[in-house]
Structure 1
Amino acid sequence: MSGSRVKDPDATRQAVRDLADAGGAHLVLTMAGTRALPAVTAACEEAGVPCVSTTPPWQAHVHTRGAEAAHRFRWTYHFAWGLDDIAAVFADLWEPAGGAGAVGCLWNDDLQDGLLLHERYGFAPVRSARGHALVDLGACGEPADGFQAQAERMRDTAPT
């Protein structure tokens, strides 16, 4: 599926099945997004075809499949940083701009951003440890027409 732009999880799953069955694929490499990743990896597990994935945080690979962090899948392997790593890097960027304070967060309306909001795996543990107040400006679909409403909400709700 290299280079494929398949976004529908059902079409993605079928494409992997076609690669495994008709194409005789011996290995699937994917940089699938958070909607396609579970479909690709599940299809590889079902077909018994090794799969190596990357790009989404490892939590998206594990938790979208109903597993815990220590779970080992038989045919699928994922390498990427975690949401905690992403949150720590963002905090490192915020702090020089004013120390601990309010940070407006605009999340996409997809799986990865749902995980970013997760109390155990997302930004919450880093926020708590480093004293930041996250102002959740709500989920936003892509493409967005603009962010005026979110900017106004940030001005209205940010702690002073």
Structure 2
Amino acid sequence: MATPMIEILNGPNLNLLGQRQPEIYGHETLDDVARACGQLAQELGLQTQCRQSNHEGALVDMIHDARLAAQGIIINPAAYTHTSIAILDALNTFEGPVIEVHISNIHKREAFRHHSYVSTRADAVIAGCGTQGYLLALRHMALLLG
């Protein structure tokens, strides 16, 4: 039996993780997150692929690709959380579990960040746990796929 693949998708500005607003997002980089997820995935009997784009259409394409290659998606859509029906529509075409992750607690921030289009598709939402949220999501994904 093949090792389940989990796509970890990241939206705009997360390429600057560790540099941009470290008081909100911390000092870890997206490479640090990818490394930690890869290590935990091995322990859980999963494999991961971490990708990031600042472009909505590219994220939609990544979700479409995941339909053919992945058993689960962990997504931090960043600002597209609050604006992208296109990402929601793409996620609705994916048959496996979807977990939405936010590094900060979006409910303690500006009012416009309180609404998430992605949450209507997500099987779970993790917010406010820093980059550890990705690891929590991976552990939960293992349970959902188990």
Q: What is the TM-score of this pair, normalised by structure 1?
A: 0.35
Select the structure with the greater relative contact order (CA < 8 A; seq sep ≥ 6): 2
Structure with higher helix content: 2
Q: What is the TM-score of this pair, normalised by structure 2?
A: 0.38
